[in-house]
Amino acid sequence: MIKVGMMSFAHMHAVSYANCLLQHPAAELIGIYDDNLQRGTEAAEKLGTRYFEEMDGFLRQECDAVIICSENSKHYEMVIKAARAKKHILCEKPIATKIEDAREMIKVCDENGVILQIAFPVRYSQAIRQLKRMIDAGDLGKILAIRSTNRGQSPGGWFTDRGLAGGGAVLDHTVHMIDIMRWFLGKEVTEVYAMVGNYFLDIDIDDAGLLTLEFEDGTIASHDTSWSRFARYPAWGDALIEVIGTKKTVRADAFGDQISYFKNERERSLEYIFAGNDIDEGLINDFIKTVQKGSSPSITGYDGLKAIEVAFSAYDSAKTGARVKL
């Protein structure tokens, strides 16, 4: 049995990850640490586990791994302390709010012999994985270009606080699709040009951006990212990628498996019900299997680092109006 502790319920994915742990036959949720007393105690009560108010005491408990779902700016401290306590780690994305912090996190985890896996659940979408298999089999021919979108609703709260989040919609939604592009191609981004701004919401942080990218093999790509979906929109948003090859063009959306549901209600007559697979469950199952086997994670700290390098390069490009070389 793999014993797992949760570190913070600041991120909305924490509830889903915890429920996946409770349903996993080889995992046990041993407790929750949260620096927010009310949030932590409420989560522990709902999940039937123990709440820890103090991080060091939590990390002294007998457990194999931790899942970190704190505000982005707190990932660094939690990963470093968990690694030194010899706990394997699944860290919510983005890995960090500073490039140098991400590098130090990877280094400390390596030095302490612990797994550092980054939470990119889009990789576990059935549609995305099928497209990956088609690319690997050569069905699309040579990849020429990629187009992706990740447009959703603003999470609000600390996500719109630059000090806690590190960036707005561009950081929040770029890292997912950059990870998918790198995974598909097996190549790195070499150039970024971006426009970033505030177009949809009355907040003091970016809510949209448009990135153009070039990869080391010459593949070109675009990424449209935003918090543009309003509250009454019938679905949260999308995580869509279109891959253009010399043989085929194929499109996949991690949230595209939906049922259209029409209701006899004036304010919201249409609702989309997600009918695809549970990508969070895929992520948690993969992490538990990795800990069980002591193998290298399928999504590494390095993957997390390369994703934020692109996102922060987009901010630099938007400020200067110039292309940024990586």
pLDDT in tens, 8-55: 999 999 999 999 999 999 999 999 999 999 999 999 999 999 999 999
At residue 277, the pLDDT reads: 84
Other C-beta atoms lying within 10 Å of the C-beta of residue 316 = 14
Nearest to 252 by CA among 74, 96, 123: 123
At residue 262, the pLDDT reads: 63
Is the pLDDT assigned to residue 130 strictly greater than 70?
yes
At residue 266, the pLDDT reads: 62
What is the per-residue pLDDT across 247-264, written as a single tens digit (0 to 9) for each? 999 999 998 876 666 666
At residue 143, the pLDDT reads: 98
At residue 232, the pLDDT reads: 76
Is the pLDDT assigned to residue 274 strictly greater than 70?
no
**Dihedral sign of CA atoms 95, 126, 129, 226 in order:** negative
At residue 164, the pLDDT reads: 98
At residue 55, the pLDDT reads: 98
Helices 279-293 and 13-23, packing angle to 10 deg: 60
Length of the chain: 326
Other C-beta atoms lying within 10 Å of the C-beta of residue 218 = 12
Q: Which helix (H) or strand (E) holds 282?
A: helix 279-293
* pLDDT grade for 267, boundaries at 50, 70 and 90: low
At residue 268, the pLDDT reads: 60
- CA dist list (Å): 173 to 60, 192, 210, 310: 34, 16, 11, 12
- CA–CA gap between residue 278 and residue 126 (Å, rounded): 9
- CA–CA gap between residue 32 and residue 170 (Å, rounded): 30
Please report, rounded to a whole number, the percentage of residues in the chain having pLDDT higher than 70: 94
The residues, any chain, with a CB within 8 Å of residue 38's CB and separated by 6 or more, are none
Which amino acid does the sequence have at 142?
A: K
Q: Which helix (H) or strand (E) holds 198?
A: none
**Stretch 161-188: mean pLDDT, rounded?**
98
pTM score of the predicted model: 0.94
DSSP letters, 2-59, are EEEEEE---STHHHHHHHHHHH-TTEEEEEEE-SSHHHHHHHHHHHT--EES-HHHHH
CB 124 within 8 A of CB 179: no
At residue 300, the pLDDT reads: 98
At residue 172, the pLDDT reads: 97
What is the per-residue pLDDT across 302-316, written as a single tens digit (0 to 9) for each? 999 999 999 999 999
Q: Please, which residues bridge with residue 272 across strands?
A: 260
**Dihedral sign of CA atoms 288, 293, 298, 304 in order:** positive
Is the pLDDT assigned to residue 123 strictly greater than 80?
yes
- CA dist list (Å): 95 to 77, 249, 301, 305: 12, 31, 7, 7
- CA–CA gap between residue 66 and residue 91 (Å, rounded): 8
* pLDDT grade for 265, boundaries at 50, 70 and 90: low
At residue 235, the pLDDT reads: 74
Strand 65-68 with 88-92, pairing = parallel
Q: Report H helices in 24-149.
A: 37-47, 55-59, 75-84, 99-111, 126-136
At residue 165, the pLDDT reads: 98
- CA–CA gap between residue 85 and residue 137 (Å, rounded): 42
* pLDDT grade for 234, boundaries at 50, 70 and 90: confident
Residue 114: helix, strand or coil by DSSP? coil
- CA–CA gap between residue 81 and residue 35 (Å, rounded): 15
